[in-house]
Chains A and B, each alone.
Chain A
Amino acid sequence: MRVGAISVGRSGDKGGTLDLSLVALDEEKYRWLEARLTEEVAQAAISRVMPGIVARYPVPGLNALKFVIEDALPGGVYATLHAGLHWQKAAIWVLLDLELD
């Protein structure tokens, strides 16, 4: 199952920290996601693309999972070597396009 088939998401940032949010469509989908998209699974996906340590914050009342990655954007968004500015707006697809069993 693709994470993005059962949830919506958005990327944000502050300084060098990347801040990702996923909201499952309902409580059942949230429980499925919460059990499978662990901190370790997210870390493995994130580490393919950027540095930083993933911290996960489950918010069951909102069917949401947050992932905060400190130092994912070294020097902040303006020090990036990506093409143009604000590549990190698309970073949530690292999680949305994950396939989990």
Chain B
Amino acid sequence: MEQKVVACGAGFAGDRTEPAVALAASGRVDAIGLECLAERTIVPGLRARRSDPEAGADPRLERRLRPLLPVARANGCRVISNLGAANPAAAGRKIARLAAELGCRGLRVAAVVGDDVAGLAKHIAWDDMVDGNLLGAHAYLGADALREAIVEGADVVVTGRVADSALFSAELLPILEDDGDALAGATTVGHLLECSGQVTGGNFEMPDGDSLSAADFAELGFPLATVRADGTAEIGLLDGAPGRLDRLTCTLQLLYEVHDPSAYITPDGILDFTGVVFEEVGPNRVRVSGARARGRPERLKVSGFVEQPGFIADIEIGYAGSHALNRGRLAADALRLRLDDFPDEDVRIDLVGVDSTLGAASLPPANRMPEVRVHVSARCRDAQAAQIVEDEVYALTLSGPAGGGSVRSERRPSLAVVDGFIDRDLVATETVWEQVK
């Protein structure tokens, strides 16, 4: 049965760059997918594009592709990525220029455009639209949008918003058997690969606290998958790459962010994972089968971003030495008194090191904590209101419990993410080609 090898070279915008190069250099990989566009990662690109029509691609594009392109080219490994972010056509031109500089003669780049549906705003059914300026609206495209680029032999495929799994399953479209379950299997493989180290031992701990070593985390291998025409696959690591890949790591990644596991909605199909089977067939080698298709959604999900006035001010002040916990609690209580004009739902005051993450579900703190940080976040209507909250924390250095310091603060502008849907027939995609001379 025909098969292909696809690999993951990035699972988020800031992911490490070395694993992709190692996978491409192995000579085993037909296509490497780089997932670099989380929900909100597109926002800086949308803002940059307003003043410069050639801006809007992922700012890390060059850092990621400079070491990878020549190696991928030499090993016949296609590169598929959503590094196009808010401007895939411009990203295609940028990649072609970079490839020319690197001496990749004849390299062909395909930019897939059409995910930007801001121009179709009146056709988008928003779940819960809010007031403010709609900065952008992008539909999650499926693997079919990348088919032309793959079939016509692009060396690099660059897109904006697509389903993460499509960056890996698109390569498989030409060999898949013509039944829904084969595509479901390929989409499942994409889903298993799309978070890079999360399937190979990252973000994973056994009940006894056992996990990989620091050295392994520092050099964690990213996954590759040998996928057959029927959509079944074997997930693995390169020989010698540090990591842990077994039934448990695969199951956690399979179920990651899918909501109802019997009906995981992707543009390429609604997937039923309840019959998926993982078999450990060797060290760090897991066979996956049993994903089923339950039809294809008629509408594509749309992500919209709405700029709103105001900021979240997020500030911390630290206390150390004897009685640090007591002084931190006093500081928090003093701030509660100073900020009591804020509605409860707009302010949060807690202790980093004690209960700032899990709140009332936190384990009890030790009596003698060597240090603690007081954290305040407040929703502020404007910059001046944010400044006042920041100043209230700083004021504790003079007028609060002894030894308050190590102050840190940040302000985040308010931005709402809104979900919507659009009929898939309305979303027209186009493949724009660039060729390096």
Contacts and interface: CB of A to CB of B under 8 A. Distances in A.
B357 A81 contact: no
A84 B360 contact: no
Interface stretch (B108-116, B228-236, B255-263, B333-341): B255-263
Given A19-B259, A59-B255, A66-B261, A49 B419 contact: no
Which of A10, A14, A68 has the largest count of B CB atoms less than 10 A from its CB?
A10
Contact of B251 (A23, A57, A84): A23
B255 A82 contact: no
A8 interface: yes
Given A59-B255, A66-B255, A84-B314, A15 B417 contact: yes
Contacts of A79: 312, 414, 416
B215 interface: no
Contacts of A72: none
B358 A49 contact: yes
Interface of B: 39-40, 198, 203-207, 248, 251-252, 254-262, 273-278, 312, 314, 316, 346-348, 350, 352, 356-361, 363, 375, 377-379, 412, 414-417, 419
Given A81-B377, A83-B314, A64 B259 contact: no
B417 A76 contact: yes
Nearest to A14: B257
Contact of A62 (B259, B276, B356): B276
User: Helix, strand, loop or mixed for chain A's interface?
Assistant: mixed
Given A15-B417, A64-B251, 12 more contacts: A10-B255, A19-B259, A23-B252, A23-B255, A62-B254, A62-B255, A66-B255, A76-B417, A79-B414, A81-B378, A83-B352, A97-B363
B204 A49 contact: no
Which of B39, B204, B346, B352 has the largest count of A CB atoms less than 10 A from its CB?
B39
A52 B261 CA distance: 19
A94 to B, nearest CB: 5
Nearest to B206: A8
A10 B416 contact: no
B59 to A, nearest CB: 19
A32 interface: no
A48 to B, nearest CB: 4
Nearest to A50: B359
Contacts of B274: 59, 61-62
B54 to A, nearest CB: 27
A45 B358 CA distance: 11
Contacts of A14: 39, 257, 259
Contacts of A19: 256-259
B257 A13 contact: yes
A82 B378 contact: no
A90 B361 CA distance: 11
Interface string A17-47: 1010101010000000000000000000100
Given A61-B275, A79-B414, A81-B348, A10 B356 contact: no
